[in-house]
Amino acid sequence: MKKYWRSLSELKGNLKVESEPEFSITGIPEDEVKGTGKTNRRDFLKLLGFGVGYATLAASCETPVNKAIPYLIKPDDITPGIANYYASTFFDGNDYCSILVKTREGRPIKLEGNELSGLTQGGTSARVQASVLNLYDSARFLPDYRFDNADLIVGFNADFLGNWISPIEFTKQYSKKRKLDKSNPGMSKHVQFESTMTLTGSNADYRIPIKPSDEGALLVELYNNIAAKAGKETLSGGKAIVNIDSLADELWAKKGKSLVVCGTNNSNNQYLVNAINQLLENYGKTVDINSPLLHKLSNDSEVKAIVDEMNAGKVSAMFFYNVNPAYNYPETSKFVEGIKKVALTVSFASTKDETSKLCKYILPDNNYLESWGDAEPKTGLYSLVQPTIQKLFDTRQAQDGLLKWIGADKGYYSYLQNYWETEIYPKQNTLTDFNSFWNKSLHDGVFETTNGLSIFEFNFEGIADAAKNVKNTGSGLELVIYENIGIGNGTYANNPWLQELPDPVSKVCWDNYLAVSYNYANEKGLELGDLVNVNGKFELPVLIQPGQADETVAIAMGYGRTNAGLAADNVGQNAFTLINNTGKNKSYAISDVKIEKVVGNHKLALTQEYHTMHGRDLIRETTLDEYVKNPSAGNEAHLHAEEHSVTLYPKPEFKGHHWGLAIDLNACTGCSACVIACQAENNVPVIGRDEVINRRIMHWMRIDRYYSEHAENPDVLYMPIMCQHCDNAPCENVCPVAATPHSDEGLNQMAYNRCIGTRYCMNNCPYRVRRFNWYQFTNNEKYSFTDDINLSKMVLNPDVLVRTRGVVEKCTLCVQRIQEGKLNAKKENRLLRDGEIKPACLQSCAADAIIFGDLNDKESNIAKAYDNERNYHLLEELHTLPSVGYFTKVKNKTKDDFIA
């Protein structure tokens, strides 16, 4: 293991002097902090000039690091204690996000969304947030969708808010249509047909559980219904598994403003859905083919053909970049056999994985935060990847390797620049010299063009065949293999933050499980954690999933890895081996799966053990028609509490700022990006499965998920909960050593160094938001879940204290960011602007569900939010006077059930 550097000064001693410099000297001028829209550009060679005085620099490639020496001369652009932000792109082969990388003393420690991106507009997801940790780890032609133009959304097994194609972008769009404007109250209606309870399905107004084998026939039925209205031929093969007549009527009524999407990996089903959208005149409005999405363009049959060729001995050399077939190719053994017959196998994996283990050569790629690159997630939208830290290990960017082998005389950086100069720079005409264009693009991270209208004609020719070929019979128990929010396809299985992220729906972490329906469990006598054997392949614990369609079960992919690292290895089971790879498209829905109960029970780590509100008025909800009649619908208790609010003492006054937060429960989808963002920002430790089972998870932000009473197809509600910063805090009163007083700006403070750990405050908090360091969770090998604890500590945020054993901690409303914001405003001699300070949770939210600001500023969004009739405070009848507000959840459903 190479020694890695911890500060720029150490770096200076370790810099390799090569013939092709990794980073060039550019002339980007000095800039201020992100808030004013400018960033600093770090220049290593410029620093090198300063560092020449350090004798440690040698001409040879490797220079031993002697000591970390603090700066004698401060480099121009780096001020210890102030963060530098760099625009870059997150693209891991699956998900795309335009990001700003926050670095401190030369280390990336946090990723924020880039608001300049027209696509993701500042949003992020849990995986994006967590990917910063991976840096420190010792591994077709799709249309784009416009959910913000759709009044009626119908999803068929499409988890578009969680994992399908471009979830960050879709969440941003979707939430725009879920927020309510009192003067013009309207919101989209979302109907979801699916087998297992996905994040998207849990947010739907109406959710209908169906079997995977039912989807095709239902799609044909819907097509026929719409086709009849459009005067087109109907097809055979349709079956009204569920009566969709009224849905079809509504879709027809909302022509051009509706959207039907399907997430099933079957071209016939997709064809049908596209045809339906065409008939509904959605193309060009909610289906955007002008700038199609460019993710996930792989071709299943082609991959199958390659594996066959490998086994036939026809392949002499293979290079693996951003793929891991030894883990996730369905017929793993076939692949493993085949690769033995390939003479030259090279893996570019940046972290060890199952495939690299089988390769002859491993040439580790840089982590994306150390790399140059670009991406075009959607036609016309370009973004750049730039390194934000000097390579931590002896890796090389894969593209540099390839260029070297073809004998090119320049490195990837020049190649990239050249490409941009010739292909992309000409697409604009505001900047007249390439260097300025290049610098601006690097700085912004994105360059977006608008495409001209493309002429598009829908071809209905194959539709009858497609209808015939949809899978409309299934037998026995049907298994759905899906991606969950945290682990996804398994690339991030070795990321402990993601392993410990409780699944938004099931609240399980550190494991996958067999999700079964309530009825199935009763029938088979299955309880939580009971072990079952799946198709003779492996054993999994059972989880009873309310809303799981009867006669279906589900397993999340991405687990059961064997060569990924400490956090991933042997956690859960590998569901990729169950995928049906016989057809033209890989099928993630499998018929006739054999489930057999075996002896034993595996305790699943759940962060929540009681799943209904027990009749308590915690998440207040109403329906759209009630809201239109009366904006206070569902929120009568708030008026009651305000009226009857009595106090023995005078209400505390806040003369300067009074910080407040509000969460729009209509916008929040439960995606949990905020949970990880908070963890990254505030150095929240990971504790491992056993301690989670002991109900000691450390997340400062948690998302409560409640089901309504019917277990077969419940309503699902989410509520993100963090410290409520009560002005009448019950926790403050009981601390004997005054470790948790109230600030004069309305924050409940937590003085870690004063806390002696009596835990009285934890008992007295009715929201249960306080966390205790039961063991030494930080700076402790036992709880690092990474192979090199010193390396993983580099992700820590130096603005936030790391807590020791025996101390209580909780959300601080990112007080370090508040202070930073105030200081910046002070330095610039101006007032703070509303929305300038963004706590980590707010910043990461793709749905823009969180509002934060100064309640004393009558014009601020937060002050207006508190005046909203939908606003209430959790447990307000206890008179804790919280500084966090919630907007009632308004569902676009009538009191009647959908199927009526």
Partner 1 sequence: MYDVKVRGSLIEGNKSYHQISEDISKPVESRAPNWWFIAMSISTVMLIAGIWAGFVTISQGIGTWGLNNSVAWGWGIINFVWWIGIGHAGTAFSIFLLILRQKWRTSINRAAEAMTVFAVISAGIFPMIHMGRIWLAFYIMPYPNSRGPLWVNFNSPLFWDVVAISTYLMASATFWYVGMIPDFATIRDRAKKTGNVVREFVYDLLSFGWDGSTRTWLRFETLAAILGGLTAPLVISVHSIVSMDFATSIMPGWHTTIFPPYFVIGAIFSGFGMVLTLMIIIRKLYKFQDYVTKGHLDAIGRILTFISLIMATAYITEIFIAWYSGSEYEFFTFFKNRITGDYYWAFYAMFICNAVIPQLFWIKKIRSNITIVFIISIFINIGMWFERYVIVITSLSKDYLPSAWADYSPTFVEVMLYVGTIGLFLVGVLGFFKFIPMFASSEIKGILKPTTDSND
Partner 2 sequence: MEKNIIGIYNDEMLVAPAINQLRDKNVEVQDVYTPFPVFEIIEAMKLKTRFPYFAFAFGVIGFSLTFWFMYWTAVESYPLNIGGKPSLSLSFVVILFVMVINITVISSLIAFFIRVKKGPGSKAKYVADGINDDKFVVLINKTKTMTDDDSAKISEILRDSGAVDVQEN
CA geometry: angle 673, 677, 679, nearest 5 deg: 120
Tokens of 647: 């106090």
Tokens of 280: 């509904």
Instruction: Give the residue, chosen from 25, 68, 756, 823, that forms a contact with partner 1 under the rule CB under 8 A.
Output: 756
- We find the least distance from the C-beta atom of residue 803 to partner 1, in angstroms, to be 10
| Residue 758 within binding range of partner 2, rule CB under 8 A | no
| Residue 16 within binding range of partner 2, rule CB under 8 A | no
Q: Specify the residue for token string 């998920």.
A: 705
CB 779 within 8 A of CB 789: yes
SS (H, E, C) 452-513: CCCCCCCCCCCHHHHHHHCCCCCCCCEEEEECECCCECCCCCCCHHHHHCCCCCCCEECCCC
Task: Decide which of partner 2, partner 1, none touches 706; Cβ closer than 5 to 8 Å per partner kind.
Answer: partner 1
- We find the least distance from the C-beta atom of residue 560 to partner 1, in angstroms, to be 29
Q: Specify the residue for token string 């009568």.
A: 636
For residue 283, give the DSSP letter. B
Instruction: Give the residue, chosen from 52, 181, 184, 610, that forms a contact with partner 1 under the rule CB under 8 A.
Output: 610
| Residue 728 within binding range of partner 2, rule CB under 8 A | yes
Task: Decide which of partner 2, partner 1, none touches 773; Cβ closer than 5 to 8 Å per partner kind.
Answer: partner 1
| Residue 452 within binding range of partner 1, rule CB under 8 A | no
| Residue 63 within binding range of partner 2, rule CB under 8 A | no
CB 299 within 8 A of CB 459: no
Instruction: Give the residue, chosen from 522, 570, 645, 733, that forms a contact with partner 2 under the rule CB under 8 A.
Output: 733
CA geometry: angle 39, 41, 44, nearest 5 deg: 160
Piece of 244-252, 421-429, 648-656, 819-827 that binds partner 2 (CB under 8 A): 648-656
Dihedral of CA 619/625/627/633: which sign?
negative
Nearer of residues 570 and 733 to partner 2, judged by Cβ: 733
| Residue 529 within binding range of partner 1, rule CB under 8 A | no
Q: Which among 771, 748, 766 has a CA at the least distance from the CA of 659?
A: 748
Q: Which among 569, 582, 575, 475 has a CA at the least distance from the CA of 534?
A: 575
CB 766 within 8 A of CB 880: yes
Residue 17: phi and psi, rounded to 5, are: -105, 110
- The site map against partner 1 for 636-655 (x = CB under 8 A) is --------------------
Piece of 186-194, 262-270, 488-496, 609-617 that binds partner 1 (CB under 8 A): 609-617
| Residue 59 within binding range of partner 1, rule CB under 8 A | no
- The site map against partner 1 for 567-606 (x = CB under 8 A) is ----------------------------------------
| Residue 738 within binding range of partner 2, rule CB under 8 A | yes
Instruction: Give the residue, chosen from 339, 729, 832, 849, that forms a contact with partner 2 under the rule CB under 8 A.
Output: 729
Task: Decide which of partner 2, partner 1, none touches 763; Cβ closer than 5 to 8 Å per partner kind.
Answer: partner 1
Nearer of residues 431 and 693 to partner 1, judged by Cβ: 693
Query: In which order are the strands placed within the sheet that holds 538-544?
Result: 589-590, 478-482, 552-556, 514-516, 538-544, 530-534, 595-601
Nearer of residues 156 and 767 to partner 1, judged by Cβ: 767
Piece of 190-198, 242-250, 756-764, 847-855 that binds partner 1 (CB under 8 A): 756-764
- The site map against partner 2 for 873-892 (x = CB under 8 A) is --------x-----------
Instruction: Give the residue, chosen from 636, 744, 828, 877, that forms a contact with partner 2 under the rule CB under 8 A.
Output: 744
Instruction: Give the residue, chosen from 651, 710, 754, 805, that forms a contact with partner 2 under the rule CB under 8 A.
Output: 651
Instruction: Give the residue, chosen from 107, 391, 620, 705, that forms a contact with partner 1 under the rule CB under 8 A.
Output: 705
| Residue 214 within binding range of partner 2, rule CB under 8 A | no
For the chain, count helices (H), then strands (E): 28, 34
- The site map against partner 1 for 711-730 (x = CB under 8 A) is ----------x--------x
Which residues between 735 and 754 bind partner 1 (CB under 8 A)? Answer: 735-738, 754
Piece of 46-54, 348-356, 410-418, 647-655 that binds partner 2 (CB under 8 A): 647-655
Cα–Cα distance, 720 to 850 (Å, whole number): 10
Task: Decide which of partner 2, partner 1, none touches 629; Cβ closer than 5 to 8 Å per partner kind.
Answer: none
- Three-state DSSP state, 43: coil
- We find the least distance from the C-beta atom of residue 717 to partner 1, in angstroms, to be 11
CB 862 within 8 A of CB 855: yes
- We find the least distance from the C-beta atom of residue 883 to partner 2, in angstroms, to be 12
CB 800 within 8 A of CB 823: no
- DSSP string for 579-636: -B-SSSS-BSEESS--EEEEEEE---EES----S-TT--SS-EEEHHHHHH-TTTT-H
Nearer of residues 651 and 768 to partner 2, judged by Cβ: 651
Piece of 450-458, 521-529, 541-549, 695-703 that binds partner 1 (CB under 8 A): 695-703
- We find the least distance from the C-beta atom of residue 648 to partner 2, in angstroms, to be 9
| Residue 694 within binding range of partner 2, rule CB under 8 A | no
| Residue 808 within binding range of partner 2, rule CB under 8 A | no
Tell me the CA distances in angstroms from 2 to 67, 154, 274, one per residue in order: 15, 53, 53
Which residues between 861 and 880 bind partner 1 (CB under 8 A)? Answer: 875, 878, 880
Query: Where does residue 481 rank: exposed (0-12), middle (13-18), buried (19+ CB within 10 A)?
Result: buried
Instruction: Give the residue, chosen from 47, 273, 279, 807, that forms a contact with partner 1 under the rule CB under 8 A.
Output: 807
| Residue 650 within binding range of partner 2, rule CB under 8 A | yes
| Residue 54 within binding range of partner 1, rule CB under 8 A | no
- We find the least distance from the C-beta atom of residue 743 to partner 2, in angstroms, to be 8
Beta strand 508-509 with 605-606: parallel, antiparallel or unpaired?
A: antiparallel
Task: Decide which of partner 1, partner 2, none touches 697; Cβ closer than 5 to 8 Å per partner kind.
Answer: partner 1
| Residue 734 within binding range of partner 1, rule CB under 8 A | yes
Residue 422: phi and psi, rounded to 5, are: -85, -35
Nearer of residues 428 and 733 to partner 1, judged by Cβ: 733
Cα–Cα distance, 875 to 281 (Å, whole number): 47
SS (H, E, C) 165-178: CCHHHHHHHHHHCC
- CB-based contacts of 37, cutoff 8 Å, min separation 6: none
CB 355 within 8 A of CB 320: yes
Q: Which among 719, 520, 485 has a CA at the least distance from the CA of 611?
A: 719
Tell me the CA distances in angstroms from 128 to 135, 166, 453, 498, one per residue in order: 12, 12, 32, 10
> What's the Rg (C-alpha) of the chain?
28
Cα–Cα distance, 27 to 548 (Å, whole number): 58
Q: Diameter of the chain by CA atoms?
A: 85
Nearer of residues 464 and 618 to partner 1, judged by Cβ: 618
- We find the least distance from the C-beta atom of residue 617 to partner 1, in angstroms, to be 9
- The site map against partner 1 for 757-776 (x = CB under 8 A) is xxxx-xxx-xxx-xxxxxxx
Cα–Cα distance, 665 to 620 (Å, whole number): 9
Task: Decide which of partner 1, partner 2, none touches 581; Cβ closer than 5 to 8 Å per partner kind.
Answer: none
Q: Which among 269, 267, 206 has a CA at the least distance from the CA of 242?
A: 206
Nearer of residues 741 and 806 to partner 2, judged by Cβ: 741
Piece of 614-622, 623-631, 645-653, 829-837 that binds partner 2 (CB under 8 A): 645-653
Which residues bind to partner 1, rule: CB under 8 A?
A: 608-616, 618, 691, 694-697, 702, 704-706, 721, 730, 733-738, 754-760, 762-764, 766-768, 770-776, 804-808, 875, 878, 880
Which residues bind to partner 2, rule: CB under 8 A?
A: 649-652, 727-733, 738, 741-744, 881
